[in-house]
A and B are shown apart, each in its own frame.
Chain A
Amino acid sequence: MTNTTAVSIRRSVAATINGKEAIVPEGSTILEACRNIGTEIPTLCYLENLTPVNTCRVCMVELEGSRTLVPACSRKVEQGMVIETESDRVHKSRKMILELLASSVDLSIVSTELNRYMEKYQVDRERFGPLAPPSEQGQRENTKAGHHHTSNGAFASTVAVPTKIDNEQYIRDYSRCVLCYKCVEACGTDAQNTFAIAVAGRGFEAHISTEFDVALPESACVYCGNCVAVCPTGALMPKTEYELRQSNQWDESRQSVTRTICPYCGVGCNLEIHVQDNKIVKVTSPIDHDVTSGMLCVKGRFGFEFING
Chain B
Amino acid sequence: MDLKTSGKPASIAEIEAIDAVIGNLSHRDDGALNGKPHLNGIGYISPSNSGGHRELLLPALHSIQQKIGWISHGALDYLSSQLGVPPAEAYGVASFYALFSLEEASQTIIHVCDDIGCRAAQGDDPADQISKRYGESGVIKDGWSWSRSPCLGRCEEGSAALIQHSGENHRTVLISPFNSGMLDSISEQSSDIWVSSESAKVPQIDNARSELKLLRRIGSVDPLSLDSYRSHGGYSALRRALELGPEGTLAEIKDSKLMGRGGAAFPTATKWEAVAKNPVRPHYFVCNADESEPGTFKDRIVMEQDPYSVIEGLTIAGLTTGCAKGYIYIRGEYPLAEERLQNAIANATRKGFLGSNILEKGFNFEIEIRRGAGAYIAGEETALFNSIEGKRAEPRNKPPFPAQAGLFRKPTGVNNVETLLNVLEILTVGGLEFAKTGTESSTGTRLFCLSGAVTKPGLYEAPFGIKLGDIISLAGGIKKGKSIKAILLGGAAGSFVGKDQLDIPLSFEGVRSAGATLGSGVVMVFDQDTDFEQVLLRIAKFFREESCGQCVPCRVGTARQEELLARLANKSVYKSKQQELELLSEVGMVMRESSICGLGQTASNAIESAFKLGLV
A129 at the interface (CB under 8 A from B): yes
Across-interface contacts of A142 in B (CB, < 8 A): 103
B513 within 8 A of A: no
Chain B residues whose C-beta falls within 8 Å of the C-beta of A57 in the assembled complex: 551-553, 594-596
A202 touches B567 (CB 8 A): no
Q: Which residues of B contact A58 (CB under 8 A)?
A: 552
Q: Which of A146, A150, A200 contacts B566 (CB 8 A)?
A: A150
A151 CB, min distance to chain B CBs, angstroms: 5
Alpha-carbon gap, A93 to B592, bound state (A)? 10
The answer to the question of A116 belonging to the interface, with a C-beta cut-off of 8 Å to chain B, is no
**Cross-chain contact A152 with B566 (CB below 8 angstroms):** yes
Given known A97-B590, A103-B556, A199-B92, contact A211–B6 (CB-CB < 8 A): yes
Residue of B88, B545, B550, B587 with most chain A CB atoms under a 10 A cut-off: B88
Which of A56, A148, A211 has most B Cβ within 10 Å? A211
Are B551 and A55 in contact (CB-based, < 8 A)?
yes
Whole-angstrom distance between the Cβ of A137 and the nearest chain B Cβ? 15
Shortest CB–CB separation between residue B521 and chain A, in angstroms? 22
Would A151 and B566 count as touching, CB distance under 8 A?
A: yes
| Complex CA–CA separation, A209 to B95 (angstroms) | 11
Contact between A92 and B563, CB atoms less than 8 A apart: no
Task: Look across to chain A and name the residue whose beta carbon is closest to the beta carbon of B547.
Answer: A203
B549 on the A face (CB < 8 A)? yes
Q: Does A128 make an interface contact (CB < 8 A)? A: yes
Cβ distance A258 to chain B, nearest Cβ, rounded Å = 35
- Size category of the A interface is 35 or more
A202, B95: Cβ atoms closer than 8 Å:
yes
* Nearest-Cβ distance from residue B584 to partner chain A, whole angstroms: 11
Question: How far is it, in angstroms, between the C-alpha of A292 and the C-alpha of B365 when the chains are bound?
Answer: 48
Distance in Å from the Cβ of A158 to the closest Cβ of chain B? Answer: 10
Whether B563 and A128, one on each chain, are in contact in the complex, defined by CB atoms closer than 8 angstroms, is yes
Closest A residue to B94 by beta carbon equals A200
The reply to whether A220 and B556 contact each other, CB–CB distance below 8 Å, is: no
Is A153 a contact partner of B98 (Cβ separation < 8 A)?
no
B339 at the interface (CB under 8 A from A): no
Are the CB atoms of B87 and A206 closer together than 8 Å? Answer: no
Contacting pair A157 B563 (CB below 8 A): yes
Residue of B at shortest CB range from A212?
B73
Q: Which of B375, B537, B547, B589 contacts A96 (CB 8 A)?
A: B589
List of B residues within 8 angstroms of A128 by Cβ: 560, 563-564, 574, 583
Measured between alpha carbons, how far is A43 from B148 in the docked complex, in Å?
39
Q: Does A279 contact B (CB under 8 A)?
A: no
A218 to chain B, nearest CB (A): 6
Chain A residues with CB under 8 A of B549: 179, 199, 201-206
Q: B259 within 8 Å of A by Cβ?
A: no
Contact A211 B90, CB 8 Å, known A54-B596, A128-B564, A206-B548: yes
B397 interface hit (Cβ, 8 Å): yes
Shortest beta-carbon distance from A125 to chain B in Å: 12
Residue of B nearest to A127 (CB): B583
Contact B101 A69 (CB under 8 A): no
Closest approach, in angstroms, between the C-beta of A114 and any C-beta of chain B? 13
| A89 CB contacts on chain B under 8 angstroms | 593
CA distance A144 to B77 in the complex (A): 20
Confirm or deny: B430 has a beta carbon within 8 angstroms of a beta carbon on chain A.
no
Contact present for B545 and A200 (CB under 8 Å):
no
Which residues of the other chain, B, contact A154 by a CB distance below 8 angstroms? 567, 572
In the complex, B562 has a CB within 8 A of chain A: yes
Do the beta carbons of A60 and B552 come within 8 Å of each other? Answer: no
In the bound assembly, the distance between CA atoms of A308 and B349 in angstroms comes to 72
Question: B375 to A218, Cβ gap below 8 A?
Answer: no
Bound complex: CA A200 to CA B587 (Å): 25
Q: Mark B1-14, 1 if CB is under 8 A from A, else 0.
A: 10110100000000
Tell me the minimal C-beta distance from B75 to chain A in angstroms. 11
- The answer to whether B96 has its CB under 8 Å from any CB of chain A is yes
Contacts of B76 in A (CB 8 A): 211-212
Q: Does B140 have its Cβ within 8 Å of any Cβ on chain A? A: no
**In residues 272-298 of chain B, which contact A (Cβ within 8 Å)?**
none
> Is B176's CB within 8 Å of the partner chain A?
no
Q: Does A195 touch B at the CB level, under 8 Å?
A: yes
Taking CB atoms, residues of chain B closer than 8 Å to A202 are 95-96, 375, 545, 547-549
**Hey, which chain A residues are within 8 Å of B375, CB to CB?**
145-146, 202
Q: How far is the CA of A74 from the CA of B101 in the complex (A)?
A: 35
- A97 vs B583: C-alpha distance when bound (angstroms): 13
Does B553 lie within 8 Å of A153, measured CB to CB?
A: no
Interface membership of B507, Cβ < 8 A: no
A74 touches B397 (CB 8 A): yes
Could you tell me if B88 and A203 are in contact, using CB atoms closer than 8 angstroms? no
B91 CB within 8 Å of chain A: yes
Determine how close the nearest CB of chain A comes to the CB of B13; give it in whole angstroms. 19
* B238 shortest CB reach to chain A, Å: 37
Collect the chain B residues with CB atoms within 8 Å of residue A195's CB.
Answer: 1, 3, 86, 88-89
A96 to chain B, nearest CB (A): 4
Which residues of A have CB within 8 Å of B559? 104, 151, 157, 203-204
> Across the interface, which residues of B come within 8 angstroms of A71, CB to CB?
397
Scoring B4, B90, B92 by chain A CB atoms within 10 A of each residue's CB, the highest score goes to B92
Question: Given A96-B586, A129-B574, A153–B564 Cβ distance below 8 Å?
Answer: yes
Option from B87, B552, B587 in Cβ contact (under 8 Å) with A56:
B552
A92-B586, A93-B590, A220-B86 in contact; A198/B147 too (CB < 8 A)?
A: no
Report A-chain residues with C-beta under 8 Å of the C-beta of B90: 211
In the bound assembly, the distance between CA atoms of A200 and B374 in angstroms comes to: 15
List residues of chain B with CB within 8 A of the CB of A255: none
Nearest chain-A residue to B90 (Cβ)?
A211
Q: Hey, which chain B residues are within 8 Å of A83, CB to CB?
A: none
**Do the beta carbons of B91 and A204 come within 8 Å of each other?**
no
Q: Are B587 and A96 in contact (CB under 8 A)?
A: yes
A100 near B: Cβ within 8 Å? yes
Q: When the two chains form their complex, are residues A201 and B562 in contact, meaning their CB atoms are under 8 A apart?
A: no
Q: How many whole Å from B24's CB to the nearest CB in chain A?
A: 24
CA distance A142 to B546 in the complex (A): 16
Q: Does A11 contact B (CB under 8 A)?
A: no
A54 to B553, CA, bound (A): 12
Q: How far is the CB of A16 from chain B (nearest CB, A)?
A: 20
- Looking at the complex, which one of A156, A179, A193, A212 makes contact with B1 (CB distance below 8 Å)? A193
Given A68-B594, A197-B88, A219-B88, A153 contacting B563 (CB threshold 8 A): yes
A203 CA / B583 CA spacing, docked (Å): 21
Render B524-563 as a binary contact track against A, CB cut-off 8 A, 1 for contact: 0000000000000100010011111111110111111011
With both beta carbons as reference points, the residue of chain B lying nearest to A97 in the complex is identified as B552
Q: Compute how far the CA of A54 lies from the CA of B394 in the bound complex, rounded to whole angstroms.
A: 12
Q: A68-B601, A146-B374, A201-B549 are in contact. Are A209 and B91 (CB under 8 A)?
A: yes
The smallest C-beta distance from A216 to any residue of chain B, in angstroms, reads 11
Smallest CB separation, B331 vs chain A (Å) = 13
Q: Would you call A123 an interface residue if the criterion is a C-beta within 8 Å of the partner chain's C-beta atoms?
A: no
A237 at the interface (CB under 8 A from B): no
Interfacial chain A residues near B592, Cβ < 8 Å: 68
Cβ–Cβ < 8 Å partners of A220 in chain B: 3-4, 86-88
Complex contact B91–A203 (CB within 8 A): no
Sample (22) of A-B pairs whose CB atoms are under 8 Å apart: A54-B551, A57-B552, A57-B595, A103-B560, A104-B559, A128-B583, A129-B574, A145-B95, A145-B375, A148-B545, A153-B567, A179-B555, A195-B89, A198-B91, A203-B548, A203-B549, A203-B559, A209-B92, A211-B90, A212-B73, A212-B102, A220-B3
Give 8 closest A-B pairs by Cβ, nearest first: A206-B549, A195-B86, A146-B98, A153-B567, A153-B566, A198-B92, A211-B87, A100-B556
A residues whose Cβ falls under 8 Å from a Cβ of B? 54-58, 60, 68-69, 71, 74, 76, 89, 92-93, 96-97, 100-101, 103-104, 127-129, 142, 144-148, 150-157, 178-179, 193, 195-206, 209-212, 214, 218-220
| Sample of 19 further A-B pairs with CB below 8 A, known A195-B3, A211-B80 | A54-B551, A54-B596, A97-B594, A100-B557, A128-B564, A128-B583, A144-B101, A146-B374, A146-B375, A195-B88, A198-B88, A199-B392, A200-B96, A206-B548, A206-B555, A211-B91, A219-B88, A220-B4, A220-B88
